Chain A
């Protein structure tokens, strides 16, 4: 869930208020205010859109974590950077994007070969009984 907006970095442009799909934030005097953390779905879109690397979303999506966040400093702006959105023209951040499909498939092949080696043939449909019964 969204954890903290760093006042030193925030320009109070309120982009995060606008782009949050669940309207977690409200405009505030110095920085936007986290008004409805319970609606945060931990989608990191506020970080992607924040032009000044001022927002830290903590990794647990089910519970609000309380600070301090020792790993925040090293992570501010990283997701936006990995999207390429922090530089003019956005660089070549999508250059390896086409590898997604082949690498998904390669993982499936690895699992299939390993299972045959370690466990043999997969059981047939219906072989796994109802857990409760």
Chain B
């Protein structure tokens, strides 16, 4: 199969990119690991978009506020672009999404419910002629003799056949990595795009900024809307001293410490009265884990846990080298959570509104640029397959326990002690554990078909975990979402982005080489 633009991934950034690429005159194919409409964390979520009217003073103030929140790593020009693109393009979804009133006689655009939003984006993409291949996970990128990306190969899960697509330009829109924490909707978020790009030599940036956390019933991850006013109790019924959500890291540390000591119970009875009768209308999925256990979430106390979000509400991802969302590999673009969001979120979480605006805007930008590039390129005659670990073992093939490996990776990244009290000793232990796992996968991992898809997910999570750990070790300070217990202050000399790259050997460098980490 041949196309001008190939998009790997099927969430909001992928679909916005596809629509923009078609508008640019390109033929476009989306390959998604799941189903475009339900895949990824948007479908079960409710993205709010950064929404600022085109008024010079308002936008300047919004950008100034966001620049201050970005801890020295944001880029005001990028912020201005995404505010503008979001304002212009989100309303174009109106034929497919039932935007309601804002209570003031206007339309409420900025916040959308994920299930309807992703359904609308699918319908919009199909209506303009995007070819969508669901359940078509990509396994490796293809390059020409000069190292330029010319497409990808993968496996069609329902047809049980391998596929190969040649493209003039390729966009990675594979989302962030949740490391199989159980975070709602994140099972497919295993960082496959970053792995494939790294095999082509791409760099990542901002991998130390995370994780953030979602509080949920211990038996099921939900959205956090009903919990912001929660009180917390230990198993004996004594109220716990949990500093309020506004204290951010401290709030999570207090919960994490209590969870390591025993069960923690939430009491939501002090949630806003207005919310109680309408929660199911705002977030129909949120009450289900309670109702289906015969519980009333606003009356009954229930055990909770913190679900780690990996890089999803963090900011790390593939480094972009220009204003068109190109990665450091020719022919390869990255968008949404697969790309670094430091340009607009800096060191802080982009969750809330900036990440959604980023997904839409980076999708639009890369889609337009890839359309130009993809149509201009002649299709390469020969292609080199870039995939390595899981495809070409270095030693004898062994059967590997992927479930155990995935649980280990999640533990290394999201164990409360390690993640909430980041420090050199445990980061070094994690490095050793993950290096050993990487070596085992490199030497012995081999599979085909759907088994290869699962193996490559584990490989991708291992690689992403190693990059996150290496960046977290290198940044000997606290900044934004990166909180080091052994370096609690922000070091003005480290106001630079950290780039990570490499697979067998992971390298960390400062983007501004005059500001080297110690």
The chain A residues found within 8 Å of chain B, CB to CB, are: 18-23, 39, 41-45, 48-49, 57-62, 71, 75, 78-79, 82-83, 90, 92-101, 103-108, 110-112, 114-115, 118-119, 122-123, 125-128, 130-132
B276 → A minimal CB distance (Å):
10
Which residues of chain B in 259-311 are interfacial with respect to chain A, using CB atoms and an 8 Å cutoff?
A: 260-261, 270-272, 274-275, 278, 280-285, 288-294
Q: Which residue of B lies closest to A124 (CB)?
A: B250
Is B44 among interface residues, defined by CB-CB distance under 8 A? yes
27 interchain pairs, CB-CB under 8 A: A18-B134, A20-B38, A21-B34, A21-B188, A23-B34, A41-B184, A43-B44, A45-B44, A61-B220, A79-B288, A82-B280, A97-B100, A97-B282, A98-B102, A98-B111, A99-B275, A99-B278, A100-B282, A103-B282, A104-B225, A104-B228, A105-B228, A107-B225, A108-B244, A114-B270, A122-B250, A126-B488
B272 touches A21 (CB 8 A): no
Is B256 among interface residues, defined by CB-CB distance under 8 A? yes
Stretch at the interface among B65-73, B315-323, B355-363, B416-424: B416-424
Q: Which residue of B lies closest to A127 (CB)?
A: B250
Q: A115-B244, A130-B421 are in contact. Are A75 and B416 (CB under 8 A)?
A: no
B39 touches A21 (CB 8 A): yes
Is B214 among interface residues, defined by CB-CB distance under 8 A? no
The chain B residues found within 8 Å of chain A, CB to CB, are: 33-35, 37-40, 43-44, 46, 48, 98-103, 108, 111, 113, 115-116, 134-135, 157-158, 182, 184-188, 219-221, 224-231, 239, 241, 243-247, 249-250, 253-254, 256-257, 260-261, 270-272, 274-275, 278, 280-285, 288-294, 416-417, 421, 423, 478, 485, 488
A19 touches B38 (CB 8 A): yes
| Count of CB-CB pairs between chains A and B under 8 Å | 206
B245 touches A108 (CB 8 A): yes
Interface centre among B115, B182, B260, B283 (most CB of A within 10 A): B115
Chain B residues with Cβ below 8 Å from A114 are 229, 231, 244, 270
A22 → B minimal CB distance (Å):
5
Chain B residues with Cβ below 8 Å from A18 are 35, 134
A82 → B minimal CB distance (Å):
3
Q: Which residue of B lies closest to A83 (CB)?
A: B284
Chain B residues with Cβ below 8 Å from A22 are 34, 187-188
B243 touches A123 (CB 8 A): yes
**The 9 residue pairs across chains A and B that have the minimum distance between CB atoms:** A107-B228, A21-B34, A82-B284, A107-B229, A41-B187, A110-B229, A111-B244, A59-B292, A122-B243
Interface centre among A61, A118, A132 (most CB of B within 10 A): A61
A96 → B minimal CB distance (Å):
5
A61 touches B182 (CB 8 A): yes
Q: A96-B281, A128-B250, A132-B417 are in contact. Are A41 and B157 (CB under 8 A)?
A: no
A133 → B minimal CB distance (Å):
9
10 extra interface residue pairs, beta carbon distance < 8 Å, beyond A21-B38, A119-B241 = A20-B38, A42-B184, A43-B44, A79-B288, A100-B283, A106-B228, A106-B272, A114-B244, A122-B250, A125-B488
Interface centre among B46, B281, B417, B485 (most CB of A within 10 A): B281
B113 touches A94 (CB 8 A): yes
A81 → B minimal CB distance (Å):
8
B243 touches A115 (CB 8 A): yes
B227 touches A83 (CB 8 A): no
A93 touches B34 (CB 8 A): no
B189 → A minimal CB distance (Å):
10
Question: Which of B254, B261, B278 is within 8 Å of A96, CB to CB?
Answer: B278
Q: A61-B220, A128-B254 are in contact. Are A98 and B243 (CB under 8 A)?
A: no
B272 touches A107 (CB 8 A): yes
